[in-house]
């Protein structure tokens, strides 16, 4: 898909994956809405990219907030690309702890709301905007790229809420691609492994020592720009549709 003159929205656009993706899209001539709740980082990123990016405060759990961000993106030009890569809090706790106490159902529900329902809200509302685009010569109107995790396949201890949400994103992918195919809208999903981002809350050397050595090859954590380059390739390659791509250096979260 030719990205020249197009607009895009990146939810979580001020974060590690998101900011790298915003930069790569701008390099391709796309004008991007940075949709995030991190106002300071989002505005700094937008300012660094001149008039090619705009920060819009966006809460993916609020449909009206998502719609406002999509409207802002459409003011830049036809919306051709939506990258759904926002983060959020997770339980990081066993379903029942050693004292026999379950963690609150509300915690589980909130994680699904952010990662699964939020993804569906952005995907569906972005697709509705793309459906109004004039098709390109290829017949394409746009692409939505969602973000899962290898935890959606092999969740670790304490990740039941996150694994369930990301597994839902994986399960939704092919159905969404088939639903939107008549409109010329593709849907793809990226499932990252252990990537070094600010979400770890660790210095890079410490994070690498703990997690990088577990990756078969290359023996290091992923870099946010590697996610971003894959996202841009997906956007440009019309024959990528309905698939989940693991980007994880062959890492598998297997208990020993």
User: Dmax of the chain from CA atoms?
Assistant: 62
Instruction: Supply 105's token pair.
Output: 């159902």
Please tell me the chain's helix, strand, coil percentages from 3-state DSSP, rounded to the nearest 5: 45, 20, 35
What is the distance between the alpha carbons of residues 140 and 37, in angstroms, rounded to a whole number?
31
Asked if 29 contacts 53 with a C-beta cutoff of 8 angstroms, the reply is no
Is 239 among the residues known to form the active site? no
Which member of 103, 153, 162, 200 is catalytic?
A: 162
Tokens found for residue 182: 């008549």
- Please say whether the dihedral angle defined by the alpha carbons of residues 11, 227, 176 and 129, taken in this order, is positive or negative: positive
Between CA 150 and CA 94 the distance in angstroms is 19
Give the catalytic positions in this structure: 162
């Amino acid at each position: 898909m030719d990205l020249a003159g197009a607009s895009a929205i990146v939810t979580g656009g001020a974060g590690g994956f998101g900011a790298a993706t915003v930069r790569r899209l701008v390099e391709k001539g796309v004008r991007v809405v940075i949709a995030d709740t991190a106002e300071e980082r989002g505005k700094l990123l937008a300012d660094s990219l001149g008039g090619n990016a705009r920060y819009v405060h966006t809460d993916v759990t609020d449909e009206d907030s998502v719609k406002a961000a999509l409207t802002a993106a459409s003011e830049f030009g036809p919306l051709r690309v939506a990258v759904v890569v926002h983060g959020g809090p997770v339980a990081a706790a066993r379903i029942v702890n050693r004292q026999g106490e379950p963690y609150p159902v509300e915690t589980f529900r909130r994680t699904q709301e952010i990662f699964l329902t939020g993804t569906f809200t952005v995907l569906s509302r972005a697709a509705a905007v793309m459906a109004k685009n004039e098709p390109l010569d290829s017949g394409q109107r746009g692409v939505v790229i969602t973000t899962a995790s290898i935890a959606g396949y092999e969740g670790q201890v304490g990740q039941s809420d996150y694994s369930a949400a990301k597994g839902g994103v994986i399960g939704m992918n092919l159905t969404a691609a088939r639903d939107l195919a008549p409109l010329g809208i593709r849907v793809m999903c990226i499932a990252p492994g252990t990537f070094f981002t600010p979400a770890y809350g660790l210095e890079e050397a410490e994070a690498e020592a703990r997690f990088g050595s577990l990756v078969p090859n290359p023996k290091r954590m992923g870099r946010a720009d590697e996610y971003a380059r894959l996202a841009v390739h997906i956007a440009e390659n019309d024959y990528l549709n309905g698939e989940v791509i693991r980007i994880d250096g062959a890492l598998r979260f297997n208990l020993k």
